[in-house]
Amino acid sequence: MKKIYTSINNADLFAGLDSPTFEINYVEEKKTIENMEEYDLVVLMISSDSILPALEPVDTDVFVLDENGLLKQIPTHIKVFPDMSALKKAILLWTLTNKSIKRSKEGSPKPKQTQNETAAVLQTDNKITGNKPLQKEEDPFNKENDKDKDKKSPTDDDIVMNEIEEVNSAPPILIEEDYPSKEMPAEYEEAKNKVNIMRNSYVFKGKAYPNNQTIGIWSPLSRIGVTTFIINYAIFLQANKIQTAVIEGIKGKYLQHIIERYEEKPSNYKSFMEVFHLEDKAILNMDISQIHWYYKGVLWLPIGDKDKDYIWNESFLNVYFQFFRYHDVVLVDLPNGEMQQETLASLQHMDELWIVIDNSMDILLWKSYIQSIQKDFNKPIKLLFNRKMPFSKPEEFAKELELPLVAALPDLTEEHYKNQFENHALIEHTAVFNKLLDPFRLITQELGVEIPPSRKLMMMNYLRKFIPLKG
C-alpha cells in the first residue's frame, strides 16, 4: 500500500485513487511532518498566511500547490504546481507510473540539504526572506584531489559503496523476452514529461469521467464479427450522447482498413504509441488535436504502422488505458484466438470482458480456456450472441459455457457483405438500424444506461440528424 500525506482536504483531488492501494492521511497545514520517509507522496499547499514546514530531502515525492507564486526558490526535490488542475493531473500521473520504482538521475545521488537550509528556502509568509541562494554541500562523489585520488583507503570505498547501495536500492525492471521490441520503452522521468505534454495539448485536457467503463471485446474463434459489432455499437453509443472511444489491440491493421473506407485518415495521423515515443520537442511542436481520428463523433485508435515494434509493457499499458478514460465508454477490440501476453496484461485495465459467439459448436471446446481467463481476470465476463437465426439456441450456449447472455444480435451476413463495397458504416442503413436497436438497448443497459421504448422514435429522429441513414 502506498501512503500519501496531504494538508489539502479536497476529495476530488484524490478521486481517482484506488482506496485499497493508497492510504491518504489528512493533516493540518502547519503541523510538523514526522517520519516523512514513511510516505510515498507528500502533497501540501502554501498560502500567504502559512509557512511550508521544513522538508528534509528523503526518497519521497513532494508536491506543493502554490497558486500565488510565493515560493521564490525551489529545492530540486520539490515539485510546485500553479493550480489545482495541474496538481490533480500530477497526482493521477504519479499513480499511473508505479512509484514503487524509484530512480536516481543518471545513477548519481542528489546532494543533501540540511533541515535549516530547506526551512529557510521554503519560508513563504508575508515576510518572505528566502532570497539567499541555496547553499549546496559538496558532492562526495565528485570530490577529487589530484594528489590523493589514487590513495583512497578501504574505509572510504566502503562508505561510497554503502551510499550507492542506499540510493540504488530499487529492484531492477524486468522486461519479458516475449514482447516484440526494436526500441526500449521511455524511461520513467521521460515518460512523465511526454504524458504531461500530451495531456496539456490534448483537446479534452484529460478530463476524467467517474463512471467510465472500459470493455474488452473478444472471441476465441475467427470471423465472428467482433470488429463489425464494435464499429456499429460505438456509433450507436455516440449518437446517444455517450462519449465513446475504440482502441484496437495488438493485431493487424484491420480497424484502420475499415475506417479508411468511411473517413479519410488525417494527414498527420500518428497512433498513441508513435506519439508517446516522439522526442519531447517534437510533441511540443505538434498540434495534438489534429492527429486524432474521428468518425461519427467516435474517437478511433487503430494500431499504427510501427506499434508492434515497441514494448507493450505494464508501465505503458497503465498510461495508455488511463489516458482515454475521459470517455464514458472505451471499447477495446482484442485479437481473436488464444490471448498473447500483452493481451492478458491489458485485461487488468478493463472493467468487463464481452465474448462474442455465434452458431458454431466449436466455441464449447474453449470452455476450460475461458474459465482459466475468468479465474485470473476476476471481473465480469459476459456473452454476446451474433448472427441469430431461426434455429439458433443462444441460451443453450450460455448455459453450457456457464456465462450470462447479454443479448442476441440478428444475422446480418448479407447486409455485411454488401457493405464491403460502401463508404459508410453498416448501422447507417435504416433497415439495419431497426434490427439492431432492440439488442443494442439491452446491451446498453449493461452499462447502466436505460433507453426506454418510448424514446425509440426520438432516437431515430436524432440519429437521422447525426447519421445520414441510408435507405
Quick one: three-class SS letters along the chain?
A: CEEEEECCCCHHHHCCCCCCCEEEEECCCCCCCCCHHHCCEEEEECCCCCCCCCCCCCCCEEEEECCCCCCCCCCCCEEEECCHHHHHHHHHHHHHCCCCCCCCHHHCCCCCCCHHHHHHHHCCCCCCCCCCCCCCCCCCCCCCCCCCCCCCCHHHHHHHHHHHHHHCCCCCCCCCCCCCCCCCCCCHHHHHHHHHHHHHHCCCCCCCCCCCEEEEEECCCCCCCHHHHHHHHHHHHHHCCCCEEEEECCCCCHHHHHHHHHCCCCCCCCCHHHHHCCCHHHHHCCCHHHCCEEECCEEEECCCCCHHHCCCCHHHHHHHHHHCCCCCEEEEECCCCCCCHHHHHHHCCCCEEEEEECCCHHHHHHHHHHHHHHHHHCCCEEEEEEEECCCCCHHHHHHHHCCCEEEEEECCHHHHHHHCCCCCCHHHEHHHHHHHHHHHHHHHHCCCCCCCHHHHHHHHHHHHHHCCCEC
Quick one: pLDDT at residue 453? 62
Quick one: pLDDT at residue 281? 65
Q: pLDDT tens digit string along 157-214?
A: 554 445 444 444 444 444 444 434 444 344 445 555 555 555 554 433 334 444 789 9
Quick one: pLDDT at residue 90? 75
Quick one: pLDDT at residue 143? 43
Q: pLDDT tens digit string along 251-262?
A: 777 899 999 999
- Residue spans of the domains in the chain: they are 2-122, 189-466
| Fold agreement (2-122, 189-466) | yes
pLDDT of 69 higher than 80: no
CATH number for 189-466: choose from 3.40.930.10, 3.30.300.30, 3.40.50.300, 3.40.50.2000. Answer: 3.40.50.300
* Most confident range, picked from 20-34, 43-57, 296-310: 296-310
> Stretch 218-231: mean pLDDT, rounded?
96
Quick one: pLDDT at residue 81? 82
Quick one: pLDDT at residue 382? 98
Q: pLDDT tens digit string along 98-150?
A: 443 333 333 444 444 444 444 444 443 333 333 334 344 444 444 444 444 44
- 2-122 belongs to CATH 3.40.50: yes
